[in-house]
């Protein structure tokens, strides 16, 4: 049997997405996370606004899309978990099964990322009742900061939030591809609806144009080499590449679905949500005379202070933290599914048993990150706390290397027959993908990698 025949007849052991839309919602959900909301808008504003956005979109086309297409085509070609798929396709192409270690690294990266991501995501869930009960109303900056600092200083509270978030992940993943599909069909439209409600309010804040100027006014003088590298890194990793999620989801993609069209849809949705989030956050921040920021301080200190000064602040704050929780959950599902699929295919255990095992491992690994903010805050080595070390290892080493090896495999190891069957080899799009995946994308990601570890 030749490669083409194998690719056509092989079926996923876990079922398929019921439609192209289900796949797009799932992959967009995996790509849209906390970074879209608390990192991208601020990075754009600080690095030349529209100039940064232009460079970012260019890199999305030159790096993000070719790598994402590579992961999807590998996943659909193999129809297995990332480890088994890389091993299987490597052998089919007459190469070594050593490629399975790329799959191992991707799945491991997903598990490690979720171990600390779950801790942070737990904070967003904890803040929903705080917002709903009006704990931000009429407070000042000192009180808001103390509220957050007291929360993260309590190991019991942080671990409980981490536990709740992982339990939600378990129940969704345990119900299989159909459960995943039901979840994203609810969570993603819900996320967009909540974001749109906040956007409508932001339009009336009186500082909407200030937010637009902060994010989109092109200032090429403010865009230096570091800003270009930041845009390159965000373009590469905002799409959840290098961590097995896209490959695992690609394994469930129906054969008749166009990978190129699906990728374009995901990129538009992911970028659009990040920009819309900025147009929600910054007008509200500017309207209250505060300085914009990024990361946890923006979400858990600056914005609660903003909501606390608004007449409908309790309502908007509740919506905002539900929105954040939805974004965190859709990303977490993509991080957990590859490891669960790997265990299901490698053992005799049921999906529920495998999901429980993987969730427990991730929960246990997450304890180190949870305690990094309180009882083990002074325990530092290499790059800092346990949380900071795991973040550095995954973000700066495992994900870039995983993306490079995956793209190299698709463009150099897989035959043109194999890749052209998945990507419509007679099209201009295929030839552009093949050129970018062979030459530009891997080199660009290696530059990101070398910069991240301080070699350039």
pLDDT, tens digit, 9 for 90 and up, residues 47-97: 999 999 999 999 999 999 999 999 999 999 999 999 999 999 999 998 888
Contact between residue 249 and residue 334 where contact means Cβ atoms under 8 Å apart:
yes
Residue 7 has pLDDT above 60, yes or no: no
CA 81 to centroid of chain Cα atoms: 19
Note the pLDDT of residue 342: 98
CATH code that applies to domain 3-452: 1.20.1740
pLDDT mean over 115-130: 97
pLDDT mean over 248-264: 95
Residue 425 has pLDDT above 90, yes or no: no
Q: Other C-beta atoms within 10 Å of 364: how many? A: 11
Give the pair of three-digit tokens for residue 390: 């795991």
Give the pair of three-digit tokens for residue 268: 């538009």
Q: How far is CA 147 from CA 136, 150, 162, 208, 378, in A?
A: 9, 5, 18, 29, 21
> How many degrees, rounded to 5, is the angle at CA 186 between CA 185 and CA 190?
120
41 vs 104: which has the higher pLDDT: 104
Contact between residue 121 and residue 111 where contact means Cβ atoms under 8 Å apart:
no
pLDDT, tens digit, 9 for 90 and up, residues 149-203: 999 999 999 999 999 999 999 999 999 999 999 999 999 999 999 999 999 999 9
Q: Other C-beta atoms within 10 Å of 454: how many? A: 7
Residue 252 has pLDDT above 60, yes or no: yes
* Helix, strand, coil percentages, rounded to 5, for the chain: 80, 0, 20
Note the pLDDT of residue 292: 80
Contact between residue 334 and residue 250 where contact means Cβ atoms under 8 Å apart:
no
Among 26-35, 163-172, 266-275, the range of highest mean pLDDT:
163-172
pLDDT mean over 415-434: 90
Residue 427 has pLDDT above 80, yes or no: yes
Residue 162 CA to residue 19 CA, distance in Å, equals: 32
Residue 6 has pLDDT above 60, yes or no: no
Tokens 């942070």 belong to residue? 120
Note the pLDDT of residue 97: 87
pLDDT bin (cut points 50, 70, 90) of residue 1 is very low
- Say which range, 119-123, 130-134, 227-231, has the weakest mean pLDDT: 227-231
422 vs 238: which has the higher pLDDT: 422
**Is the pTM above the cut of 0.75?**
yes
Contact between residue 441 and residue 65 where contact means Cβ atoms under 8 Å apart:
no
Tell me the HSE value of 148 on the side-chain side, using a 13 A CA sphere. Answer: 23
Residue 256 CA to residue 281 CA, distance in Å, equals: 40
Note the pLDDT of residue 309: 87
Residue 150 CA to residue 325 CA, distance in Å, equals: 21
Residue 200 CA to residue 312 CA, distance in Å, equals: 13
Q: What secondary structure does DSSP assign to 403-444, as a single string?
A: HHHHHHIIIIIS-HHHHHHHHTTTSHHHHHHHHIIIIIHHHH
Residue 42 has pLDDT above 90, yes or no: no
């Amino acid at each position: 049997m030749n490669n083409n025949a194998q690719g056509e007849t092989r079926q996923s052991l876990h079922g398929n997405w019921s439609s192209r839309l289900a796949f797009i919602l799932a992959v967009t959900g995996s790509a849209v996370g906390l970074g879209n909301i608390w990192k991208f808008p601020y990075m754009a504003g600080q690095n030349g606004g529209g100039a940064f956005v232009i460079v970012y979109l260019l890199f999305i086309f030159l790096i993000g899309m070719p790598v994402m297409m590579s992961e999807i085509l590998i996943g659909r070609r193999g129809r297995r978990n990332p480890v088994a798929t890389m091993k299987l396709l490597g052998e089919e192409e007459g190469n070594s099964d050593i490629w399975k270690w790329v799959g191992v690294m991707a799945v491991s990266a997903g598990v490690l990322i979720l171990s600390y991501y779950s801790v942070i995501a737990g904070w967003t869930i904890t803040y929903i009742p705080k917002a709903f009960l009006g704990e931000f109303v009429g407070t000042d900056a000192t009180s808001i900061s103390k509220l957050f600092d007291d929360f993260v200083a309590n190991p019991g509270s942080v671990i409980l939030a981490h536990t709740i978030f992982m339990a939600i992940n378990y129940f969704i993943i345990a119900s299989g591809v159909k459960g995943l599909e039901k979840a994203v069909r609810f969570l993603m439209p819900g996320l967009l609806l909540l974001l749109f409600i906040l956007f409508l309010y932001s339009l009336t804040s009186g500082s909407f144009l200030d937010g637009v100027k902060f994010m989109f006014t092109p200032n090429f003088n403010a865009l230096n080499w570091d800003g270009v590298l930041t845009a390159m890194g965000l373009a590469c990793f905002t799409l959840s590449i290098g961590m097995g999620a896209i490959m695992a989801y690609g394994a469930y993609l129906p054969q008749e679905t166009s990978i190129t069209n699906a990728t374009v849809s995901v990129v538009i949705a992911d970028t659009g949500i990040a920009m819309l989030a900025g147009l929600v956050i910054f007008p509200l921040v500017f309207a209250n005379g505060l300085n914009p920021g990024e990361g946890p301080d923006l979400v858990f200190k600056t914005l609660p202070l903003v909501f606390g000064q608004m007449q409908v602040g309790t309502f908007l704050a509740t919506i905002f933290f539900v929105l954040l929780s939805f974004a965190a959950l859709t990303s977490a599902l993509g991080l957990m599914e590859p490891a669960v699929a790997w265990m299901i295919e490698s053992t005799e255990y049921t999906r529920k048993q495998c999901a429980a095992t993987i969730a427990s491992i991730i929960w246990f690994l997450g304890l180190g990150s949870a305690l990094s903010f309180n009882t083990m805050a002074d325990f530092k080595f290499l790059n800092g706390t346990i949380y900071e070390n795991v973040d550095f290892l995954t973000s700066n080493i495992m994900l870039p290397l995983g993306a490079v090896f995956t793209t190299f495999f698709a463009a150099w190891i897989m035959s043109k027959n194999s890749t052209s069957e998945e990507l419509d080899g007679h099209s201009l799009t295929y030839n552009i993908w093949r050129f970018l995946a062979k030459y530009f994308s891997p080199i660009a990601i290696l530059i990101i990698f070398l910069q991240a570890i301080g070699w350039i």
